[in-house]
Every structure is written in C-alpha cells, then in structure tokens.
A and B are shown apart, each in its own frame.
Chain A
Amino acid sequence: MTQISDFLLLAIVLVNFALLGATRLSTMIRAVAVQGGLLGLLPLVLHGGPSLHAVGLAVGTVAIKGVILPRFLTWAIREAALRREVEPRIGFVGSLLLGVVAMAVAFAVAARLPLPPELARPLLVPVALATVMVGFLILTTRAKAVTQVVGYLALENGIYLFGLTLTEQVPFLVEIGVLLDVFVGVFIMGIVVFHINRAFDSLDAEQLAQLKD
C-alpha cells in the first residue's frame, strides 16, 4: 500500500511541473484534472485500505476535481474562444526552476516539522507543501483569469493533501463541505471568466486593473 501511495504522490509532483511548464491553457486544465484524479485515489490506499469514508471521499473528489470542474473550465475557454497561450509573467524555465526551489524548501521544512510517527509518511507532507507553493506560483505569475482558477485548484489540492494526514481528525461531513465549497467557488469563477471575456474581449487578468485609487 505504501508503494502505491508513494507512486501516486510522485505522480502529483510530476503534475506540478507539468502545470508550471504548460504553454497551452488546455494542457494546464488537463494537468490539474489528472492531479485531482490522483488525489481522489489516495484515500483508498492510505490508512490501511479502503473504508466507507475513504470510498465516499474518493468518489466525490474524482468526480468534482478530476472530471466536472476541468470539463467546465474547458467549456468556458472554448465558449469564450480565447487565445490558447498561457502568457506567463515569468518564463517557463524560470517557473520550473522556482518549482524545484519550492520542492526543496518543502522537503526541508517537512523534515523539521514535529509530526507524530503515524503521520510521518516520508512523502505526504512535503508533497502537500510543494503543491501549495506551486499553486501560489501559478496564481501570481500567470496573467490569464483561467490560469488563476487553475492555480487556485492546485493550491486547494495541496491543502487537501495535508488534510489527508488527518482523516481520523477531520470528519467526512467537513471534507464534503470543503469539497462542495471549492466546487461552487470554481463554478462561480468559471461563470465570471465567461462574462469577463464578453466584457473585455480577453481573459487577461491585467486588464482587470481599472479600479484603483
């Protein structure tokens, strides 16, 4: 079981780099969909096998983060017929290098964190922290509104990963509530993205800087 979960976690790390290196919006959305699917499988193999709680969580996560939200975002960019390039503020090489730095920092921090033995899985916490940082990186360095939604999703994925260390502490109802909030949040963001395009003829978040003092 540990091997499978380690494999899933490594795959999540690879997806982080795919997100940072993606040049097309559709690639980014597909990458974050894969990440959502991988996340959904993790509860099944952590904590000694699938329980009802784990299965429910897995189904909900795969459905929402792996299928529904990515499809919705793909629909939004297709209907909006926008240009497909990602347009980073920091180049792709620079982004990937920052991703490596984030990974190193995450491992260094996680090694120092006081974790109880049953939570101290070698990979879970560092991968969670790295994913949070990559989410932040995308949020701050990618100009388009859609890419910021993807960044938010990656950030949420990282936090969700950290939450997986605590399945006994965080009850099912709260996990589902969090998932529902993310779902509705991204759904509204998608609708706004769609309207932004109609109003501005572009999804560039830099155009959203008319309100100032």
Chain B
Amino acid sequence: MLLVALILAPALAALGAALPARRAGRLAWLLAGTALHAALLVATWVTGPAAAAGGWLAFDPLGGLVLSLVSVLTVGVATYTVGFVRPGDPRAGRAFESCLLAFLAAASLVAVSHHLGLLWVGIEATTLATAPLIYQRDDPHSLEAVWKYLVVCSVGIALALLGTFFLATAQVVGGVAGRPLVLDDLMRHGAGLHKAWVRAAFLFLAVGFGTKMGLAPLHTWLPDAHGEAPAPVSALLSGALLNCAFLGVLRAFQVANAAGEADFARPVLLGLGLLSLVVAAVFVVRQDNYKRLLAYSSVEHMGILALGSGMGGLAIYGSLLHMLGSSIAKAVLFLLAGNIVAAYGSKLVQDVQGVVRRLPVSGVLFLLAFLAITGSPPFVPFMSELAILTGAFRSGHAVLAVAMLALQAVVFIGMGSAFLGMSLGASPERGPPIRERAWQVAAPAVLMTVLLVLGLHIPAPLQRALAAAAGSLGGVGGGP
C-alpha cells in the first residue's frame, strides 16, 4: 500500500493543484503534496514494505536512495518556488505547480518499479511532466530548448524501449522461468538469459536512458534545457530528473551483471562516462553563460557516475554517494543562479560582478556550493570522489583515474575563473546590497548544511543503505 501511495499521493496533489485559480492555493497544494510524499517515504524506509502488485513494485535500497534524493530536492524546490516570481505572461504558469507534482509522481514510479516495462513508462512520464515547465515564457529560446528536449529525449527513450523488448526476448529465447521483465526474476534466473540478446538490450538501454541522463554524445538537449528553464526547474532537472534516468541505466546494469555480462557492460559505461567528461571539459572553458556552464558541469558529474559504476568495487559505492552529493550541490547552484538572474537581469558571466556584496547570503552560499561541486573538502563530493578514485586504483583503472582527475582540473579552472569573478570582484554602480527574502535562500542554506554534515559524518542508516545498494550492483560498501 505504501508503495502505491508514494505514487498516488503526488499524482492526486497534481490534480488538486490544477484547480485553484489563485497562486497561493496552488502553492499550498504543492507544499502539502511534497511534504506528504516525504512523510510517506520516511514511513517506507522504516517499515520496509514487501513487494506489491505481483512483484512489479518493490522497495530496495538503490531505488530508495534515488527517491529520497528526489524527495529532498522537491521539497527544497517547492519552498523556493514560493519566493520565485516568474517573468513574463502569468497565464503561462498556471500548470507550473501541477507539473512539479506530476514529476514527483512519475519519479516515484521510476524508483519503485521492479518491472522494466513499467520503469520505462515512468521515465518517459518524467520527460512529459517536465517539458511544460521548461517552456514558461513566450520567448523563442525556451521554445527551442523544449523542442530539443522533447525530440532528443523521446527518441533516446524509444531506443530504451527497444532495449526493454530485447530483454524480454532474452528471457524467451533463453527459455528461463520467471515473470517476464520483472527485475527480481530476471536477476534470479540471470544465468539462463540468452547472452547476445542481453548484450543488445544493455547497449540500447544504456544509450537510451543515457541520453536522458545527459551522457555524451546525446547530451545535446541538456545545456539548452537547463539553461533556458526557470531556476527551480533547472534545479529539479539536474538534481532529480537525471538521476531517475541513471537508475534506469543501473537497473540494466544489474540484469547484465546477473547474466554474467558485466565484462561487456562495464566498458560501455566507462566509454560513455569518459566521453561525457571530455565534452564537459571542452565546453566549460570559455563558456560565457553561467547557467549553461552549470549544465555542462551536470554532464561532467553524470560522466563521473557512469565511470564509477563501470569501475566496480568501491567505486560503485562512491558513485552512489556522489549521486547524492553532486546532485544536491548542483540544485543549490541552480537555485542561487535564479537569485542572481533576478538581481542582475542577465545570464552572462561578464554582466555579473560582486554577488557577495550585492546578495550577501546567496553570494556566500554560491561560493560554498562551487567549492562543494568541484570536490573540495569538507563537503560530500570530496568524500565520494575520493572513494571513486580509491576504487579505481584498487580495480586497476589507474589510467582512467588520472584522466578523470585531469579533466576535472580543467573543469575546475573553467568554473573557477567564471564563478570567482562573479562572486567577488567589485560591484560597480550597482547600489547597496539587496535584501534577500527568506524563501529565496532557505532551501539552498539547508541543502548546503546537509552537504557539510554528510561530508563530515555519514549516519549509520545511510551508510547501510549505500552499502546495500552498492552490493546489489556488484560493488562493495565503503567505510568512512
């Protein structure tokens, strides 16, 4: 029941939020819906419900971690939305709150699906729920962004559907027992699956869901969508949506692993990951739009996740921890970028100077989040990247580890030169500091605190969940 409620509660709240004509009413639905979902999620972690709906829905640590991340970010984005005033035609934003809640429902479906067909339906639904969010203003650029997003992601995900069908064929041809396309049965009878079909399926699933995750070479929609969307949507896209697709890739990896095809699957993930890092490093340098810069940083971190998953062992644990840390840091950066856009009226690096003086709270948080995302201690991403690198050296991927460090250094320089200039620098003729409203900075401040606390100490329950999730992917849990 809990599993169904996790999906239904935000879905019903989405319908409710479509009713009120006044924004205050819709915001109340949004806040109530996300809070209820978070409460249900806590109850799910505590009780650990059994699989429901004939094994189609189940709660495991891996899905639970992704859903918890989505839930935390959605609550943060919901509170930020209260203080966020969209520019342009107010009528365009009527469905805003409904779409956010619909996304939460779709993401919950993705996280608790243990049927790969249902998982596909959920991931496509996350695309559809977020598309109207990107197109908020009547301007050609946001139209172009939403068009690319829809076409590139829909085509990518169509490939993943073909991959899903291939997996069903692998079951038929292999003549194995078990319910079709149910994850637990696929894994239990993995050895009997037809090898060639499993390989084809993994390729299509990795490329298909990888497109949605923002992995190169099909990442092209991502900078446009993240760059043009309103701040809360950019935060949600980069922090939550990409990780739903990452979960899709990991599910495919779990099946390939169980089928004894890990040696085929790993190089695919390593290749996609490394290519994403290279693309990000090339485009981050000399990027003059700071929202696009953050978007390319998302490509970089998705690449790191793919690399870590492909290396195996401790690096998988590092990947999962990095998913939490980098996503939270990226969401904070996008939310704060929204405050900066509102204050300066420009998305160009050259137009923004002295944020720390002009917007004291946002400016300091922006600097801290920049340090966090680039892997500086004492924040979580430092710990997770350390785990990935340690895992890489232990599993004999020393060359890849060095390449990863070098590319990250390039990204660090690119981001650093832009963000340090924006944050510090003189604030010429821009007037006195602006008083920031609590709604604008509360969520980023809380999320940064989470990053700091987790960087210093990971609580035992989270550590257990991470270790269990890494174990389900053939990795080992890491100590602190």
Distance (whole angstroms) from the CB of B465 to the closest CB of chain A: 29
Say yes or no for B238: interface residue by CB 8 A criterion: no
**Which listed residue, A169, A189, A211, touches B144 by the CB 8 Å rule?**
A211
Q: Are A170 and B150 in contact (CB under 8 A)?
A: no
Q: Which residue of A lies closest to B148 (CB)?
A: A208
Q: Are A185 and B124 in contact (CB under 8 A)?
A: yes
Q: Are B283 and A177 in contact (CB under 8 A)?
A: no
CA separation between A177 and B122, bound complex, in Å? Answer: 9
Q: Are B158 and A170 in contact (CB under 8 A)?
A: no
Query: A184 contacts which chain B residues (CB < 8 A)?
Result: 128
Interface residues of B in 105-141 (CB under 8 A from A): 115, 117-118, 120-121, 124-125, 127-128, 131-132, 135, 138-141
Interface SS, B side: helix
Say yes or no for A192: interface residue by CB 8 A criterion: yes
CA separation between A174 and B179, bound complex, in Å? Answer: 14
Would you give the 0/1 interface string for B206-220, flagging 1 where the beta carbon is closer than 8 Å to chain A? 000000000000000
Say yes or no for A16: interface residue by CB 8 A criterion: no
Say yes or no for B385: interface residue by CB 8 A criterion: no
Say yes or no for A3: interface residue by CB 8 A criterion: no
Interface residues of A in 124-174 (CB under 8 A from B): 132, 139, 145, 148, 152, 155-156, 159, 162-163, 165-166, 168-171, 173-174
Query: A145 contacts which chain B residues (CB < 8 A)?
Result: 147
A211-B155 in contact given A162-B162, A178-B121, A188-B131 (Cβ < 8 Å): no
| Size of A's binding interface in residues, CB under 8 A | 41
Q: Are B283 and A159 in contact (CB under 8 A)?
A: no
Distance (whole angstroms) from the CB of A77 to the closest CB of chain B: 16
A156-B158 in contact given A165-B169, A181-B124, A189-B151 (Cβ < 8 Å): yes
Query: A114 contacts which chain B residues (CB < 8 A)?
Result: 173, 194, 196-197
Q: Which residue of A lies closest to B287 (CB)?
A: A213
Query: B197 contacts which chain A residues (CB < 8 A)?
Result: 114
Stretch of A42-50, A58-66, A94-102, A194-202 that contacts chain B: A194-202
Q: Are B140 and A188 in contact (CB under 8 A)?
A: no
Q: Are B117 and A171 in contact (CB under 8 A)?
A: yes
A155-B158 in contact given A166-B165, A185-B128, A208-B148 (Cβ < 8 Å): yes
Q: Which residue of B lies closest to A168 (CB)?
A: B180
Query: A165 contacts which chain B residues (CB < 8 A)?
Result: 165, 169
A132-B162 in contact given A114-B173, A211-B224 (Cβ < 8 Å): yes
Q: Are A210 and B147 in contact (CB under 8 A)?
A: no
Q: Are A166 and B140 in contact (CB under 8 A)?
A: no
Query: A205 contacts which chain B residues (CB < 8 A)?
Result: 147
**Which listed residue, A166, A171, A199, touches B169 by the CB 8 Å rule?**
A166
In the A-B complex, the 4 residue pairs with the smallest Cβ-Cβ separation, listed nearest first, are: A174-B117, A177-B121, A169-B180, A169-B168
A: which residues have CB within 8 A of B? 114-116, 119, 132, 139, 145, 148, 152, 155-156, 159, 162-163, 165-166, 168-171, 173-174, 177-178, 180-181, 184-185, 188-189, 192, 195-196, 199-200, 205, 208-211, 213
A-B contact pairs, 16 of them (CB 8 A): A114-B196, A116-B172, A119-B169, A174-B181, A177-B121, A178-B117, A178-B121, A185-B150, A188-B128, A188-B150, A189-B147, A189-B151, A195-B143, A199-B139, A208-B147, A213-B292
14 additional contacts (CB under 8 A) given A181-B125, A208-B148: A139-B155, A159-B162, A159-B165, A162-B165, A166-B172, A169-B181, A170-B165, A170-B181, A171-B117, A174-B120, A174-B181, A184-B128, A192-B147, A211-B227
